[in-house]
A = this chain, B = another copy of it.
Amino acid sequence: MTEEEWTIPDVAVAVDLAVLTVRAEQLQILLVERGIEPFRGALALPGGFLASAREDIDGAAVRELAEETGLAAEDLHLEQLRTYGTPDRDPRRRVITVCYLAVVPNLPVPRAGGDADVARWVPVAEALDGPLAFDHSRIISDAVERARGKLEYTTLATAFCPAEFTVTELRRVYEIVWGEQLEPRNFHRKVTGADGFLVPTGEKTLRQGGRPAELYRRGPASLLHPALLRSRASSLEVTA
């Protein structure tokens, strides 16, 4: 911060959201079909420019999320992912975008909000297959990678679940996001043993066949001790 103020170039700042959920036994992401150029008609992450020069960037993320999904900041996980600022990422002008990772449960899907764009859930595998607007393919990869990693050492998985959920539902989240099978017995022991992860409600599910399952709520812990490790990590991080 040594330059004088009149030498500072102005830049447009956007906020984009990678909203993940588990639906229909698949990891899915919320995408919108762009109504304007560039990339008109292509799928893109929901997002937008700062509403005013005084809007907080975290606040802008919360606002966009509410506009696209109708969800408030409670009952969902929202964290900053990364900022993308390659000079040519938007052909119109210089734009840098601060991206956020959001994780929401499946059930509440009143996403057809007041926005003109039509938002819809797309399986991540399918989204990464087809072409996307801007560098959003890269952003989705980073978001999924972050979510996969955080399942190991945080309680992020509960953000994919409704307020009350069973151990088996939680295990399905891990299996679907990681793409690998887990031992039901060992998983059950680990998550019920991890301090502050799950709080039993005492209630049971109404089932159509089979033994009713215990219902749990998320506990106060946000970090897992010990961690819930995958058999093998597949990430490779490119830095700078």
**Chain A interface (Cβ < 8 Å from any Cβ of B):** 1-3, 5, 7-14, 16, 34-36, 44, 47-58, 61-62, 73, 77-80, 82-83, 85-87, 92-94, 96, 98, 100, 115-117, 154, 222-223, 225, 232-233, 235-237, 239-240
Q: Contact partner of A237 among B35, B98, B222, CB < 8 A? A: B222
Copies in the complex: 2
| Chain A residues touching B, majority SS | loop
Docked Cα-Cα span, A99 to B83, in Å, equals 10
Residues of B contacting A83 with CB < 8 Å? 57, 80, 83, 98
Residue contact A56 to B87, C-beta cutoff 8 Å = yes
Residue contact A55 to B87, C-beta cutoff 8 Å = yes
Docked Cα-Cα span, A14 to B83, in Å, equals 12
Docked Cα-Cα span, A85 to B54, in Å, equals 10
Residue contact B240 to A222, C-beta cutoff 8 Å = no
Q: Contact partner of A1 among B49, B55, B154, B235, CB < 8 A? A: B49
20 contacts between A and B (CB under 8 A): A1-B36, A1-B47, A2-B35, A3-B49, A7-B49, A13-B13, A13-B96, A54-B87, A54-B94, A55-B87, A56-B86, A62-B240, A78-B240, A79-B239, A79-B240, A80-B82, A154-B237, A223-B236, A225-B232, A225-B233
Name, among A1, A5, A7, the residue most crowded by chain B CB atoms within 10 Å (CB to CB): A1
Residue contact A34 to B1, C-beta cutoff 8 Å = yes
